A and B are shown apart, each in its own frame.
Chain A
Amino acid sequence: MTRKFKQGFWLIMMRLSILVSVLFLLVFLFLIFSKGSSVLSLSFLLEAPKAGMTKGGIFPAIIGTLYLTGLTILFSFPIGVLAAIYLTEYAREGILVNTIRTAINTLAGVPSIVFGLFGLAVFVNMLHFGVSVLSGALTLAILVLPTIINASEEAIKSVPNSFREAAYALGATKRQSIMKVVIPAALPNILTSAIISIGRAAGETAPILFTAATFYTRKFPTSIFDEVMALPYHIYALMTEGTSPQTQMPIAYGSAVVLLLLVLSIDLVAIIIRYRMRRAKTW
């Protein structure tokens, strides 16, 4: 009896722990959306802020975030995939590979604010890029690099060896077999990884705090050396700075809903691609 009771009790506790987590998520989403959706409108999305951040829309912040994340992926995706190719196809176990792996894992654990300081010291001050899209995107690119490398590695590893052997049998060189056979086969999974890191880069605040973001700018970025408004920083600034919290709050809620929709839809695309691939995979 006590054994059965004990089992019943603990199994309920396990159920409860996942229930609490899922419930938190649902309440969280409900509250954010119910507060923010009343602010949403086409003009909110497509207008610039007015009257010292108390009226108008968030168009420049949306553009800034897209600009930043686009550039981030442009920097980190090629390096990440090439690094993954080295680790899976070329590397032999040894000190060099261990060093590289340790570096990647360490990089993944560095707090995002430390990336921000690094960006400030190196890109903004030392290289004189200033507070700019370029500095912010470079900082974010290094931040998401470990994610891209790890996921690409998994994707490349999952391509069966028979693919490579078939390519060799047809007379392909190693590079040809990788670029023409292995990478195309792994591409959907690699893209999923890239999409997930886009979502991560779009939502990060701390790394762009001192490297790219500004609370208010009238003009749109015309070059990579301009500072930009960005959604996550905009939310933070509206919540903590400025002169009239009462009128700023609704704009912050609205911005949060837009950022949340952006990030969640990016994640959803990744989940759908992964699901379809798992079904379509024939090997």
Chain B
Amino acid sequence: MTKERLFNYLVLFAALCSVIFLLGIIISIFVQGYPIFKEVGVLKFLFGKAWYPTQDPPEFGILSLIIGSLIVTIGALIIAIPLGIGSAIYLSEIAKSNTREILKPFIELLAGIPSVIYGLFGIVFIAPLTMRLFHLSTGLNAFTAAIILGVMVMPIISSLTEDAISSVPKDLREASYALGANKWETISKVVLPAAKSGVIASIILGLGRAIGETMVVLMVAGGAAIIPKSIFQPVRPMTSAIAAEMGESITGSQHFHALFGIAIALFILTLLFNLITESVRRKIKRYS
């Protein structure tokens, strides 16, 4: 019987590891980031316009980095939402099962490609294209980053939306056909509204993924810590500031703490998106 007990404790401990790790992450970034909030002030840190971490005296305002993240993320979603939802509708409502079996792995592969290779692809192929197409001085800007990020986020939105659509009961569709609706009317007026919360959850999850993605924006977004006047200007999203500057900052310096401060802001943002997705998903479960 003691063996049984021991095993019980062992699996419980393994499950608790996730809680321990999450707490570890929260504590470590807050401990390392706290000094910058104390020295600069939370509001001045979040809404300060100047990010000159290596100047004397340095300035630590991350507004331009936040705006950089938001622009790239919104741009990515504008691409990923129609592509993702469209593909999901096609796969679950329109395609025959053979076609679906062939096409689905393609979308999964899209999700499996390492982000650094997307970054390389962006630098080598997409950036020169946007530069020539829009007559810009550099192709490494928010627009190019948004395109690549959009393609990366699309599979996430697609697969979750597909789950939501396929969980809509068949009776609803049949009732709609019985009333004389055609396929598109059934999809747009019955199936999509019924799957609405799942679709929204998928978009929010994509949003969280896009704002947290590092390598693509680090390589492709251009890296200028200024508030951009248009989407064709280079930006420096939060993740890319952390990745680019951590190597140069001295451990324990103000700059070092400021980069952890950015991580705190990033963590809270993604946590927020996650909690929303969670609650929506739970709601779906209760209904189905």
Contacts and interface: CB of A to CB of B under 8 A. Distances in A.
Interface string B20-51: 01101100110110000000000000000000
Interface stretch (B53-61, B130-138, B271-279): B271-279
Contact of B11 (A17, A86, A264): A86
Contacts of A228: none
B22 to A, nearest CB: 5
Interface stretch (A6-14, A41-49, A162-170, A186-194): A6-14
B258 interface: no
Given A235-B116, A239-B123, A205 B215 contact: yes
A40 interface: no
A246 to B, nearest CB: 13
B4 A174 contact: yes
Given A11-B184, A31-B121, A264-B109, A17 B18 contact: no
A4 B112 CA distance: 38
Contacts of B21: 103, 107, 142, 145
Interface string B123-151: 11100000000000000000000000001
B112 A204 contact: no
A7 to B, nearest CB: 4
B219 A239 contact: yes
Contacts of B106: 21-22, 25
A39 interface: no
Interface residues of A, number: 88
Contact of B15 (A86, A196, A235): A86
Interface string A5-34: 011001101111110111011001001100
Contacts of A90: 8, 11-12
B98 to A, nearest CB: 14
B18 A103 contact: yes
Contact of B266 (A85, A106, A111): A111
A213 to B, nearest CB: 11
A134 interface: no
B114 interface: yes
Interface in A259-282: 259-260, 263-264, 267, 271
A18 B114 contact: no
B182 A110 contact: no
B29 A100 contact: no
Nearest to B240: A113
A22 B32 contact: no
A71 interface: no
Contact of A206 (B85, B121, B243, B277): B243
Contacts of B199: none
Contacts of B188: 10
B119 A122 contact: no
A3 B246 contact: no
Interface stretch (B88-96, B168-176, B225-233): B88-96
A204 B221 CA distance: 19
Contact of A256 (B90, B120, B243): B120
A83 B219 contact: no
A117 B259 contact: yes
Contacts of B17: 79, 83, 145
A117 B15 contact: no
A235 B214 contact: no
B197 to A, nearest CB: 16
B212 interface: yes
Given A20-B83, A111-B211, A259-B117, A118 B24 contact: yes
Contacts of A149: 18
Given A174-B4, A199-B112, A18 B29 contact: no
A158 interface: no
A82 B18 CA distance: 12
A125 B113 CA distance: 31
Nearest to A207: B214
24 contacts: A3-B185, A7-B182, A18-B87, A18-B91, A18-B103, A79-B14, A100-B15, A107-B22, A110-B212, A111-B239, A113-B243, A114-B25, A117-B260, A145-B21, A149-B18, A200-B112, A203-B117, A206-B115, A206-B243, A210-B247, A240-B219, A253-B120, A263-B113, A267-B108
Q: Which 4 A-B pairs have CB atoms at the shortest separation, nearest pair first?
A: A17-B86, A111-B212, A203-B114, A82-B14
Given A113-B212, A117-B260, A232-B116, 4 more contacts: A102-B278, A110-B270, A175-B7, A205-B214
